[in-house]
Amino acid sequence: MGASAQHEVAAKSFDIAWVRAQFPSLELQVNGRPAAFLDGPAGTQVPRQVMDAVQKYFLEANANTYGAFLTSRRTNQVISDARAAMADFFNCGSEEVVFGQNMTTITFDLSRAIARELEAGDEILLTTLDHDANFSPWAALAEKGVVIRKVDIHESDCTLDLDDLKSKLSSKTKLVAVGYASNIVGTINPVAEITRLAHAAGAMIYIDAVHYAPHGPIDVKALDCDFLVCSPYKFFGPHMGTLYGKKPLLERFKPYKVRPATDTVPECWETGTQVQELIAGIQAAVEYLAELGRRSDSSAKTRRAALLAAYRSTVAYERTLAAQLIEGLLALPGLRFFGITDAQRFHERCSTVSFRLKKGTPTELAAFLGDRGIFTWDGNFYALNFTERMGVELLGGVLRVGLVHYNTAAEVDRLLAALAEFLAA
Ligand SMILES: Cc1ncc(COP(=O)(O)O)c(C=O)c1O
């Protein structure tokens, strides 16, 4: 059986009824119609397991860390269990997992710490495709005389221009910051290859996997990346961020911290008291994905194997939804599509899709859809370099539809029908 036939079989056997039953908020009604949550790229809904874990923390473990009493010990355990869960998620050691407020804050913190070792004339390579949270924290180091260089994109399919990347990489490059997948057009970047190129030039690599995390498995060992960051609220967990850092690098760079706080990795990177109840929720989000994986592959023995099985099933399912959506969109008259449309190249994209209609602004369209219970986003989603580069920043950006594995073919049909209605009105 070929890869696409295997995908079709996997997508057909995907237990969407079980998935949706795990997410109570999907029951929401808007003006008498069921809500269609096509807003996942800005944050996904959470399964009941996550809500229960947060509540359980408050009921049974609510205290600060490292005290000599029950609830404090339980809090330590909650954090260490969540670290182990994220270590399985990233495929790294627990001591390489850092929790933080969100990806943006983590990136500002790390960029300032790395800047302690940078000198005027050192270079950092950024991209036109990235969310600004993987741009501005690094670009701010220009204050120290660090030279910021920016990799361009191919306009036709919204992929990174690797020739441009290679031409801008040199022995002066100290760090390459790149996204795993674009939060505006869904392009999946060849991060393994970019990591090899960065390392060959003697540079470190910082990968923003915030958008990729709900759509595909992460393996920091296989990538050999130095840092990788993502936000659990984008993969069915609570509003937080998490960082993977190679242990020697977490030990080498020095975080800004208060004196009594530990110097031990990874806690020394976690400034102040953490949102412990949400850390409990992160573990539950990883467990939810593992449970999904065990349902599709009962032979998965470890949590990591179960996570990989989960992604095998969701990737296949999301790809069929994306194909249905993109085919339907391209049939609409005058639609401007941003990104890869060729089904043969769908392994280079995830199920996040952006476009403009010939009529109305993205904001007007989002409001029209919102009134019909269809949740989408309009604007630039902080992918500011991209909307400027494509000439749509001053035109209200784009309309973004994000499909995750709890979405359905019926929701895609509803969206396409509503778009046709908008055009006809
Ligand atoms: C690709 C990408 N990177 C970074 C961020 C910022 O993440 P956070 O909200 O955790 O700071 C986002 C948020 O939308 C994103 O989509």
Q: How far is the CA of 122 from the centre of ligand 1 (A)?
A: 26
Cα separation of 186 and 181, whole Å? Answer: 6
Mutate to test the pocket of ligand 1, among 191, 234, 380, 385 (most ligand atoms within 8 A of CB): 234
Contact 242, 210 (CB under 8 A): no
Looking at the CA of residue 130, tell me the nearest atom of ligand 1: 1
Distances 205 to 13, 251, 338 between C-alpha atoms, Å: 38, 16, 27
- Measured by CA distance, the residue closest to atom 14 of ligand 1 is 42
Cis peptide before 266 (omega within 30 of 0): yes
Identify the pLDDT of residue 177. 98
Ligand 1 contacts CB of residue 379 (under 6 A): no
Ligand 1 contacts CB of residue 103 (under 6 A): yes
- Measured by CA distance, the residue closest to atom 13 of ligand 1 is 42
Residues 244/248/249/255 CA torsion (nearest 10 deg)? 90
Residue among 110, 225, 113, 104 nearest 176 (CA): 225
Ligand 1 contacts CB of residue 39 (under 6 A): no
Contact 250, 266 (CB under 8 A): yes
Mutate to test the pocket of ligand 1, among 134, 208, 231 (most ligand atoms within 8 A of CB): 231
Cα separation of 274 and 269, whole Å? Answer: 11
Cα separation of 337 and 172, whole Å? Answer: 37
Contact 85, 283 (CB under 8 A): yes
Q: How far is the CA of 103 from the centre of ligand 1 (A)?
A: 6
Alpha carbon 95 to its chain's center:
22
Ligand 1 contacts CB of residue 281 (under 6 A): no
Question: Mean pLDDT, 10 residues at a time, over the chain (425 residues)?
Answer: 61 90 98 96 98 98 98 98 98 98 98 98 98 98 98 98 98 98 98 98 98 98 98 98 98 97 97 97 98 96 98 97 98 97 97 97 98 98 98 98 98 98 96
Ligand 1 contacts CB of residue 179 (under 6 A): yes
Element (H, E) at 123: strand 123-127
pTM beyond 0.85: the answer is yes
Identify the pLDDT of residue 135. 98
Length of the chain: 425
Identify the pLDDT of residue 13. 82
Ligand 1 contacts CB of residue 104 (under 6 A): yes
Amino acid at 334: G
Ligand 1 contacts CB of residue 183 (under 6 A): yes
Q: Residue 244 in 3-state DSSP? A: strand
Q: How far is the CA of 385 from the centre of ligand 1 (A)?
A: 15
Ligand 1 contacts CB of residue 241 (under 6 A): yes
Mutate to test the pocket of ligand 1, among 109, 136, 211 (most ligand atoms within 8 A of CB): 211
The β-bridge relationship of strands 352-356 and 398-402 is: antiparallel
Distances 139 to 5, 133, 194, 294, 393 between C-alpha atoms, Å: 45, 10, 20, 43, 20
The two tokens of residue 379 are 């604007």
Ligand 1 contacts CB of residue 366 (under 6 A): no
Q: How far is the CA of 409 from the centre of ligand 1 (A)?
A: 27
- Measured by CA distance, the residue closest to atom 7 of ligand 1 is 103
Q: How far is the CA of 40 from the centre of ligand 1 (A)?
A: 12
User: Considering Cα of 347, then 352, then 355, then 359, what sign does the dihedral take?
Assistant: positive
Mutate to test the pocket of ligand 1, among 210, 230, 243 (most ligand atoms within 8 A of CB): 210
